Each structure stands twice: as structure tokens, then as C-alpha cells.
A = this chain, B = another copy of it.
Amino acid sequence: MTAVPAITPCGAANRYTINPMAERYSLMIHGGAGELDRVRNGLKVRPYLNALRRILVRGKSILKEGGTALDAVETCVAMLEDDPLFNAGRGSVLNAAGKVEMDAAIMDGRNLGAGAVAAVSGIANPVKLARRVLACSEHVLLAGAGALAFASEQGIVTVADDDLVTEFRRKQHEKACKAGHVTLVQDPPVPEHRHGTVGAVARDSEGNLAAATSTGGLVNKRRGRVGDSPIIGAGVYADNHSCAISATGYGEEIMRAVLAKHIASLVEFRNLDIYAAARDGMTYFANRVQGRGGVIAIDRQGRCASGFTTKTMIHGWLELGGRIAVTIRRQAGNTSL
């Protein structure tokens, strides 16, 4: 754990007066916080950054065409789930039983509408199932077999674990079991696979905010373990009155800190701007629960910020209709490619 959290205004919005005529949509996505410390080789990280860029291009087209923040975050997170590089959907890590169990959530900042699923198996896109919970059920969170029964009613076809599990994840799980590890940073010798949880936050041109988060959780986690990703206020939060947040890292620490709502409350009750709120939120997270993780955040004005207490965090953004940027940001410095 790094004691001093990195807080990064992501774009130029804090340096100029926002033009009210400009395109006001913003989008951020992340592929997890971890310890990509020794990676200096552009070839190793490039597939991750290329994936983020490709997904941001798609998300940008949705927002540019007047699509909603909710649609943009769902689409981006589903694409991150589909990419086996990331620990969500296809490419999820295995739990102690050698199975995939995934968590996901989506939140609509207009009315605090939320949908989430926890400990689900055999679902290719948990974020899409979470969206159905939001749209088509009277509940917010469905877990395990009950969530799968709901998926079946909604006509969502389940897939075999083999369709979600990559060869790398099987080997990683075997090693973790031998070592008795429950781990976020995953397998040290293969730095390019250390990143985990994925998420997206967006502000659309109507000024509405949304957030979504999805994960396969921790390697070798206990069966039935639910992390922060499907917990409203912990791993995901969106409120048009403050900001949209997606978190990543050790879920237990994020849940205890109620991290996303904590940062939103700093914006709402302390009138902090999103950079100061992310900074103070990360300081609180590090000091109060020795938290390891990070957040991406977009505020009502569409300003983008990120913060993390881990050594690195992989994320990308486009601010106020501007150019797309992707980076594996480090605590000291920046390896933006």
C-alpha cells in the first residue's frame, strides 16, 4: 500500500473556463488498480491501452450522438467484460471452488435508480443483467441462484464457465491455491495481468450522470463472497447532484469506507470540487481503513478526476467532448502512452 494517494485532474477543464456551447459529454473507464510497478515496456501494456482506447471511441460515439450516460456506461463496461484482458465477464478470476462468480452494478444519477447482481455464474455480461434488474425488477440487488432465475426470465442465455475462463486464469488460480493466497494483485510474475475490476462513469450532453462497475472479484476468494462492485455507495455511485464514481481495489476496504458515497458527500456537503473530493476521499481511504484501490469520477460539470492508493491504475477518459486519453498512471509520474 502506498501511503500518499495519487490524485489526478485528468484533463484541461480546470485550466480554462468551460465554453457553454462546447460538447459537454464526458466519459471515463478503468481496468483496475494494482501494482504494475515494474512494467516499463510499452509492448506489455499496449494491449490494455489499445483496448481502453477502442472502448472509449465506442462510448464517445454514443454520447456524441446524444445517447444517455446510462447507455454509455453499460456499453463500455460490457465491452470491458468481453475483453479477456480484464477481470470481469470473460477473463474473470476463479474463486476458491475454481469457479467464476461475478458482481456488477449500474446506477442512474437522475433518480438514484440502481440495479446490481452478486455472485452470479455463467453470465457473459453481468452489467447487462444489472441493467435489467434496474429496469425490470422492483429490487436493487439480486444474488446467486435468484439472480440467475431472474436472468432466465429475462431471456438472458447463460454460458458455460469454460466460455468465461481463460487458460491464464486457470493457471493463476492453481498457483494461488498452492500458496493459499486471496489476492487482488494476482500473479506477480505476469504484470500485464494484474489489473482487475472494470468500470465506467459518464456525463451525457443533457447533464445526466451514470456509473457502472463489474468484476470477477479476488483470485481464490471464498464462494459467495460479495465485493464492493455491486454495492451502491461502495464500488458504484451516481447522483446528478454531485458526481458519478466507479471504484476498484480490495472490495472489503472499499465497502467499509463506503468509498463512492464518501466522495460524493464531500462534493455535496463540503462543496469540494471533484479533484479535492477525490484527493480527500483517497486520503480518508488510506488512513481510515488502510485502503488499497482507486476511483474514477466525473462531476456535474463533466470534469474528470481519478485517484488511487495502489502503485498504478489503468484508465482512460475524454473530457467535455475532448480528445481520448489512456494511461497506466503511477503514484509518482505518469506512463501515459
Contacts and interface: CB of A to CB of B under 8 A. Distances in A.
B144 A221 contact: no
Given A112-B256, A114-B255, A232-B258, A222 B139 contact: yes
A242 B215 CA distance: 31
A143 B144 contact: yes
The oligomer's copy count stands at: 2
Interface in A142-158: 142-147, 149-150
Given A226-B118, A255-B140, A232 B234 contact: yes
A265 B267 CA distance: 11
A114 B266 contact: no
A288 B112 contact: yes
A141 interface: yes
Nearest to A271: B269
Interface class of chain A by DSSP: mixed
A141 B261 CA distance: 18
A25 interface: no
A140 B232 contact: no
Interface residues of A, number: 46
A182 interface: yes
A142 B258 contact: no
Interface in A215-240: 221-227, 231-234, 237
A289 interface: yes
A221 B149 CA distance: 13
A126 interface: no
Contact of A140 (B256, B261, B270): B256
Contacts of A137: 222
A224 B149 contact: yes
Contacts of A265: 261-262, 265, 269
B224 A142 contact: yes
Given A144-B145, A233-B234, A261-B261, 8 more contacts: A118-B226, A138-B182, A139-B221, A140-B251, A142-B224, A146-B223, A231-B233, A269-B269
